Structure 1
Amino acid sequence: MPFDSKIAELRFGCGLSPVVSGPTDTNQMIAAATGPDTAATRFPIETFDTFTRRVSHVVEQVKLRKKNRGSPEAMAAKKSIRVTNKEARIAQAQWLGQHINRWVWTDSPLRERLTLFWADHFTATGKAGVIRRAASPYVEEAIRPRILGRFEDLLLASVLHPLMIHYLDQDRSVGENSVQAAKGGRLKGLNENLAREVLELHTLGVSAAYDQVDVRELAELFTGLSHSREMELKFRKQFAEPGSETVMGTAYGGTKNPHIRDVETVLRDLARHPATARHIASKLAVHFISDTPDPDLVAALENRFLETDGDLAAVTQALLDHPAAWSPAPANVKPAFNFVASALRALALPPDALGALDERKMRRLFVQPMVQMGHVWEKPNGPDGLPEEDAAWIIPQGIAARLQWAVTMPQQLMAVPPDPRAFVTTALGPFTTPATEFAAKAAESRWDGVGLVLASPAFQRT
């Protein structure tokens, strides 16, 4: 199938826009995604390095509170912690608005799609206190700059990130024969969470030929990985299991002084493993094309991954260059965020419309409706992230929530609706249908017509 600019925007981008032009070819799509990140500059989200200042402040205030129990200083510290948590919660809602604005106004939609894909692949979030708000800064620092680099660099940046270590309780893992274990104390046992997810989700895939021994050996190699209270990466040698560990037939470590280099080495080897190539190829094809992708497409992506040692720009180019990518038949259902953000891109929502919303309105207009659609923003059910299968999104409650949002929310963000008769083509392009065109023309009001277009089955798929 030949390249089609409209399909490119719908399937590999953020949806059609009446004001932002679509790409001219696949090379231009890759070039835009590897060029200057103008969307991030225009709609900034703080990096994790900046976010840790909030964490450090809370750590300091906790120390003051403990040191001065019952005193005015302790009460002031308690209040300061509460204020910092509130500020982070408000910032998290604002960052959701920035994510949406990037989707609405980006001239490199592929960058936004890939960022969301890889952020979900390497799902991580905080569990309590101010760190609960750290998911967007984590993505901004670890994921977004590496979406078209080498997979192994993306893997290391994500797996060794303090938020990932915190999320999967790696900081609570202690080698059974380590110096720390001999001392006793609160932390005593091996934690396999990170090792299991690295093998099952991040690299080889659940169907690969590894076993529980590989999981345990990798978990032992990971002992020592931790973070400070200020959420900085640390390698604690006294927690590390001594001796060598064998993962997928290769021995690692074994020196007298355990080192994080051993962890980096095993991650790079896993990143280049043939099973990882198959896993990543399949996941990309399913996410962007279909729940049941063409086997030839998956094979092409797998081969390109292996040929280039996991060059994600080359793998993405192979995805865009394959004929199966340009089938005119819509396939995948949009997840909740994609649906909401692409709707506002079709409406060309002014950037300041979201900037004017306070936290309460952001939650009412976006967070709560997305929950009803099946996506709890930055609160994943587990490290496997959002479901890929269409059936998870096309359920009665989710469809009802999409319809409700489509016919009520846009008019709360914009004063003047577009003409629904023209908006059908603006929003759907080649996927418009006679039924949707009729509904738009017959609607009692312009906003009703717009809502019916956004709620139509055609708008739900790419």
Structure 2
Amino acid sequence: MLAYPELAAIRLGYGLSPLSSPPADPEALVAAIRTAGPDGDAFSVARDHLPHRSRFSDLNRSTAPDKDAQVQALRDIVRDIGARAPRIRMARAVGDAGGFGERLVQFWADHFTVTDGSVFDVVTAAAFVDEAIRPHLMGRFADLMVAAETHPRMITYLDQVTSIGPNSPAGKTGRGVNENLAREMIELHSLGAGSGYGQRDVRQLALLLTGLTFRPNRDGASFYNWNWAEPGSFEVLGKTYRRDRRKDEIREVIEDLAAHDATARHIARKLAVHFVSDDPPDSLVQRLAQAFRDSRGDLPTLYLVLAEAPELRDCFRQKLRQPFDYVVAALRGCGFAQADIMALEERAFRNLLLGGMFVMGQKWGSPRGPDGWPEDASAWATAQGLAGRIDWAMRMLPKLRPDLPDPRAFMQAALGDSASDALRWAVPKAESPAEGLAVILASPDFNRR
């Protein structure tokens, strides 16, 4: 039987690495999530976005003869800042000994999806992960949700910056209410589709949210513009919220959404689908949902239920790795360290790693919509996607590491005792190290976790 550390590394982390030993038991695995918190490379809206956006606004008003050159130089600076984001994320995933923490960063960043967009949006999207996701990995779901919904990137991505109450002091502008944030808060981020809410709930929540906005000339945080706020009372899912300067109605409604029974079921199923199976056993979903209810959304409690789940073994190899997961697992198996990824030349990183992911069907920072990347294997196991994986294994990986490891050593390093007899038979018969590595990286053993 596959030992627990190997099982957890493959199922809940980014795979095995010859450079580190995975945590020995579920408790240690959950404790190791703390290493995925913000570090010295964390992005900040206030530091990495605002000064440059302010300078951009000044240049747009400028009449200087070299204005265009200055604008382009500024864009280049911001682009270089943003280019660090995928490199840091991949490097941290490659170097995370436990792996579970960085997988959870990826999971929650996808649950609360934002996209890159413009060069300035790339920076705020990176800050979203470091300011809204990482600090709350080991806290309450409600706090994570508040941080995500009110972050400047979420507000700009879902057009909350255009939402003005029709009866507010600024209502005469005619811009009106935008329902995007309200809809995704209910449908994607908390209760889930088909959970009993109606259009009236969405509309009332959108009216309640008017006034929540972001301006790039402030201090880097979202703020409340009372001139845009719709006055009065709002009924969302049967509860009335009254506009009151003495309290935070937005936090109150998010707390209530986070505590809803449908939210417990929705989050439980999403965790089970992402980490265990496209069609997870109902027993696992029920246990996760009950843990969510009993702990009032305490995330480490959910993680421990998942880490202890017998379904990790029962549903082994039932999840197809997404391209990011696939690339990181391959790099870990080859013995790459976090510092190795940070040391790569920019062109090699973009062409061989991000470019490889793109050919496999996953363009960094560009999920198809607010619902994030698809979970179902059929979305990734396409002819083009699988051909992209083989091409990356045969052509791009050798450029990253010309001194390829012996395929048998790589098989043991990446798969441990989980490698099938068929793969153990085939690998030694490869005609070259590159071909042997490709056999492993194209196998169901490696592509499925």
User: Please, what TM-score do these two structures have when normalized by structure 1?
Assistant: 0.92
Structure 2 unaligned runs (5+)?
A: none
Could you say if the C-alpha distance between residues 350 and 129 of structure 1 is closer, same or farther in structure 2, counting changes exceeding 3 Å? closer
1:135 aligns with 2:141: no
8 Å contact from structure 1 (residues 104, 348) kept in 2: no
Could you say if the C-alpha distance between residues 307 and 352 of structure 1 is closer, same or farther in structure 2, counting changes exceeding 3 Å? closer
1:60 matched residue in structure 2: 55
1:261 matched residue in structure 2: 248
1:11 matched residue in structure 2: 11
8 Å contact from structure 1 (residues 235, 260) kept in 2: no
8 Å contact from structure 2 (residues 92, 338) kept in 1: no
**Structure 1: how far apart are the matches of 2:335 and 2:82?**
23
AA paired with 2:111? H
2:45 matched residue in structure 1: 48
2:162 matched residue in structure 1: 172
Aligned to 1:202, the other structure's residue is in SS state coil
8 Å contact from structure 1 (residues 2, 323) kept in 2: no
**Structure 1: how far apart are the matches of 2:137 and 2:214?**
25
Tell me the matched-pair count.
447
1:239 aligns with 2:239: no
8 Å contact from structure 1 (residues 61, 80) kept in 2: no
1:426 matched residue in structure 2: 413
Match of 2:239 among 238, 250, 253: 250
AA paired with 2:48? F
**Structure 1: how far apart are the matches of 2:316 and 2:294?**
31
1:109 matched residue in structure 2: 99
**Structure 1: how far apart are the matches of 2:383 and 2:114?**
29
How far off its partner does 1:196 sit? 0.3
1:315 matched residue in structure 2: 302
Listed one character per residue, the Cα deviations across residues 261-296 of structure 1 (whole Å, up to 9, x for unaligned) are 111100011001101000000000010000111111
**Structure 2: how far apart are the matches of 1:280 and 1:161?**
21
1:91 aligns with 2:86: no
1:335 aligns with 2:322: yes
How far off its partner does 1:131 sit? 2.2
**Structure 2: how far apart are the matches of 1:380 and 1:253?**
36
How far off its partner does 1:350 sit? 4.2
How far off its partner does 1:99 sit? 1.7
8 Å contact from structure 1 (residues 142, 157) kept in 2: yes
1:290 matched residue in structure 2: 277
AA paired with 1:120? D
Listed one character per residue, the Cα deviations across residues 132-174 of structure 1 (whole Å, up to 9, x for unaligned) are 3432221011101211210000000000001100000001011
8 Å contact from structure 2 (residues 170, 228) kept in 1: yes
How far off its partner does 1:423 sit? 1.9
1:439 aligns with 2:426: yes
User: Please, what TM-score do these two structures have when normalized by structure 2?
Assistant: 0.94
Aligned to 1:207, the other structure's residue is in SS state coil
1:396 matched residue in structure 2: 383
**Structure 2: how far apart are the matches of 1:345 and 1:113?**
14
AA paired with 1:62? S
Identical amino acids, percent of aligned pairs: 38
**Structure 2: how far apart are the matches of 1:65 and 1:384?**
34
Could you say if the C-alpha distance between residues 280 and 80 of structure 1 is closer, same or farther in structure 2, counting changes exceeding 3 Å? same
AA paired with 1:445? S
Match of 1:410 among 397, 403, 415: 397
Could you say if the C-alpha distance between residues 50 and 290 of structure 1 is closer, same or farther in structure 2, counting changes exceeding 3 Å? same
How far off its partner does 1:64 sit? 4.0
Deviating more after overlay: 107-116 vs 434-443: 434-443
How far off its partner does 1:430 sit? 3.1
**Structure 2: how far apart are the matches of 1:25 and 1:352?**
27
**Structure 1: how far apart are the matches of 2:70 and 2:345?**
21
**Structure 1: how far apart are the matches of 2:80 and 2:435?**
32
1:80 aligns with 2:77: no
Aligned to 2:223, the other structure's residue is in SS state strand
Deviating more after overlay: 371-380 vs 285-294: 371-380
Aligned to 2:170, the other structure's residue is in SS state helix
Deviating more after overlay: 263-272 vs 89-98: 89-98
Could you say if the C-alpha distance between residues 104 and 65 of structure 1 is closer, same or farther in structure 2, counting changes exceeding 3 Å? closer
8 Å contact from structure 1 (residues 353, 413) kept in 2: no
**Structure 1: how far apart are the matches of 2:44 and 2:434?**
38
8 Å contact from structure 1 (residues 380, 386) kept in 2: yes
Could you say if the C-alpha distance between residues 250 and 408 of structure 1 is closer, same or farther in structure 2, counting changes exceeding 3 Å? same
1:33 matched residue in structure 2: 33
CA RMSD of aligned residues (A): 2.0
